[in-house]
C-alpha cells in the first residue's frame, strides 16, 4: 500500500521560498511506472496541478505554466522522497498543498495535505 | 488550457436517491477524464478514470460515462458516506492537466 507523508512549514513570509517534502512508502521515487506530483487547492483557484518529477532511465520534470519560472520539484533517492520549492511567494500562493502519486495519468494516492499560509 | 466546467455547483439529494453530476470540457478530451471525491479535511479520492472505469475498491453504485466534451458521474443510490464534493479532471493534454470547479452533493 502506497503512503505519502508530507512535511514542511505552515507559514511562509512573502517573497520567501515555500519548501515541502513528501516521503514515499510502499513504492519508489525511481519507479518506471509512476510520477510524483504536487497539487494545491485554494478557494480562489480550486485544484491546481503544479508539477511533477519522474524517472524513465533518467529524470524528467514537468511544470505548470503558471508557476514555471519559480518552481522546482526534486527527487531524493537516498530518502525515497521528493520535494517542492516555490520561490518568491505572495499571498496568492496560500493554499493546501498535496503531494500525489500519478500512474496512468491519474492520481491514485495523495498525501494528507499541508496548509501553507503566506503572510508577514 | 482546457477548461473543465462542472454543474450544478450544488446538488441536494435525499439518501437512497440517484445523483447525476455533469462535467463539460472546452474541447474534446476523448475519454481522458477522471472523477474524484473529496470530504472535508481529506485529500481527493480517485473514483473513476478513463471516463468509465472504476478505481480499485470503488463501489458499483458509482458509474461514469461520456466522451469528447460531455461527461457524467452517476451515483445510483446515495449513501450517507457519499455526501461530499466531486471533481472531474482531464488528462488529455499532459502536462497541462486541469480540474473542474467541483459539485457539492448535500443532503436534501
Report the percentage of chain A scoring pLDDT > 70.
100
Q: pLDDT per residue over B50-78, tens digit each? A: 999 999 999 999 999 999 999 999 999 99
The A residues from 17 to 36 touching B (CB cutoff 8 Å) are none
DSSP-assigned letter for residue B77: S
Give the gap in angstroms from C-alpha A69 to the nearest C-alpha of chain B: 16
> What rounded mean pLDDT belongs to chain B?
96
Grid coordinates standing for A19?
519548501
CA distances from B57 to A98, B8, B61 (A): 22, 27, 12
CA angle A73, A78, A82 (to 5 degrees): 20
Q: How far apart are CA B100 and CA A77, in angstroms?
A: 34
**Which residues, at least 6 apart from A96, have a Cβ–Cβ distance to it below 8 Å?**
A40, A41, A42, A113, A114, A115, A116
Grade residue B95 by pLDDT with cuts at 50, 70 and 90: confident
Strand partners, A54: A60
Contact A48/B99, CB-based, under 8 Å? yes
Alpha helices in A14-103 (DSSP H): none
Amino acid at each position: 500500500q502506497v503512503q505519502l507523508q508530507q512535511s514542511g512549514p505552515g507559514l511562509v513570509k512573502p517573497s520567501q521560498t515555500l519548501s515541502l517534502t513528501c516521503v514515499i512508502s510502499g513504492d519508489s521515487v525511481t519507479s518506471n511506472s509512476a510520477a510524483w506530483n504536487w497539487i494545491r487547492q485554494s478557494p480562489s483557484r480550486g485544484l491546481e496541478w503544479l508539477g511533477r518529477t519522474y524517472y524513465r532511465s533518467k529524470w524528467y520534470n514537468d511544470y505548470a505554466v503558471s508557476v514555471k519560472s519559480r518552481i522546482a520539484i526534486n527527487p531524493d533517492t537516498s530518502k525515497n522522497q521528493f520535494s517542492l520549492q516555490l520561490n518568491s511567494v505572495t499571498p496568492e500562493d496560500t493554499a493546501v498543498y498535496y503531494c500525489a502519486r500519478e500512474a496512468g495519468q491519474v492520481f491514485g494516492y495523495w498525501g494528507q495535505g499541508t496548509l501553507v499560509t503566506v503572510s508577514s | 488550457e482546457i477548461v473543465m466546467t462542472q454543474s450544478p455547483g450544488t446538488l441536494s439529494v435525499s439518501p437512497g436517491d440517484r445523483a447525476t453530476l455533469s462535467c463539460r470540457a472546452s474541447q474534446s478530451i476523448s475519454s481522458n477524464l477522471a472523477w474524484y471525491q473529496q470530504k472535508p479535511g481529506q485529500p481527493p479520492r480517485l473514483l473513476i478514470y478513463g471516463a468509465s472505469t472504476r478505481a480499485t475498491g470503488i463501489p458499483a453504485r458509482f458509474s461514469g460515462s461520456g466522451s469528447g466534451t460531455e461527461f457524467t458521474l452517476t451515483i445510483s443510490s446515495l449513501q450517507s458516506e457519499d455526501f461530499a464534493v466531486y471533481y472531474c479532471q482531464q488528462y488529455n493534454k499532459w502536462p497541462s492537466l486541469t480540474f473542474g470547479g467541483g459539485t457539492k452533493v448535500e443532503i436534501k
